[in-house]
Amino acid sequence: MDPAPSPASSNLARQINLKWLHRLITSSIGRKFIMGVTGLLLCGFLVGHLAGNFLLFKGEKDFNEYAEWIHHQKLLPLIELGLLLLFLAHIYLAFVTTFENRKARDQKYVVKESKQYDLTLPIPAHNWMFISGSIILGFLLLHLVDLRIGIRPDFVYTDSAYANTMQAISNPIGRIAYIVGPIILGFHLAHGFASAFQSLGLTHPKYSGLIYKFSIVFGIAIGAGFASLPILVPGMANRSAKPATTTSTATTPASAVDLPAHD
């Protein structure tokens, strides 16, 4: 006969009871709360990611040093796992919320509860957020295939993070994707950032307008920042390589004066 559980173990079982988490996930308010939290955390990641990518403007050495520093962080696997869970949770909740909105069309998306500070869109905001989010998901998968997993068959991957990144944003089709994707992301953030504050109940008539304006500025800054990379960086790299062509065309091999073939 098994011994009865001790009072200490019973208290521990009660402390780690996850029924509250189940209630949070299954309730409409709880899901919107989690979606707001995950959205804001992902916004923070985008700020840091954009800051690192801006090193592309400084050149190959600085960007490769940054990439090398990132890859040598001992907590990188945990950070990547956390990011993956954030993305999955946000995407799952987006699908669930959209399904609920379509099932009960008389209920509006949390952002529509306040029409005073809402984006003027040709389609309902909750539909636009779902459509733009789906496009961003496709762009994210492309980005992972290009630079994280590295399985594009038309790419020649090297040990240089700069060269691989240049290859992705210089490719004709990829260049369009890396311009359009961030623009859609910017529109998504311009609405979603303010929506996250409303989902968390952090709105008030005194500063809701300020949050709305900052949300638009934030969306424009992130979208324009990422889109500027494929627009400007390849041209800058080409111009920096041109002086080498005027030194000695007779003795310098053609492959040494052009960008690498994989760019």
Mean pLDDT of 206-219: 92
User: Cβ–Cβ contacts within 10 Å for residue 151, how many?
Assistant: 10
Q: How confident is the model at residue 30 (pLDDT cuts 50, 70, 90)?
A: confident
- The predicted-structure confidence for 117-137, as pLDDT tens digits, reads as follows 555 555 566 678 889 999 999
Residue 243, pLDDT score = 58
CA distances from 242 to 50, 160, 246 (A): 28, 21, 7
Higher pLDDT, 26 or 207: 207
- Say yes or no to pLDDT of 180 above 50: yes
pLDDT greater than 80 at residue 245: no
Question: What's the whole-number average pLDDT of the chain?
Answer: 81
What does the alpha-carbon distance between residue 157 and residue 46 come to, in Å, rounded to a whole number? 25
Q: What is the DSSP letter of 51?
A: H
Query: What are 178's two structure tokens?
Result: 């890396």
In Å, the largest CA–CA distance within the chain is: 92
Query: What are the pLDDT digits (tens) for 136-165?
Result: 999 999 999 999 999 999 899 999 999 999
Residue 207 confidence class, pLDDT cut points 50, 70, 90: confident
| Domain segments of the chain as ranges | 30-241+253-257
Amino acid 114: pLDDT: 46
Q: For domain 30-241+253-257, is the CATH number 1.20.1300?
A: yes
> Tell me, what's the pLDDT at 11?
54
User: CA dihedral in degrees (195, 182, 222, 230; nearest 10)?
Assistant: 180
User: How many beta carbons lie within 10 A of that of residue 263, not counting itself?
Assistant: 22
The predicted structure's pLDDT at residue 17: 61
The pTM assigned to this predicted structure is: 0.77
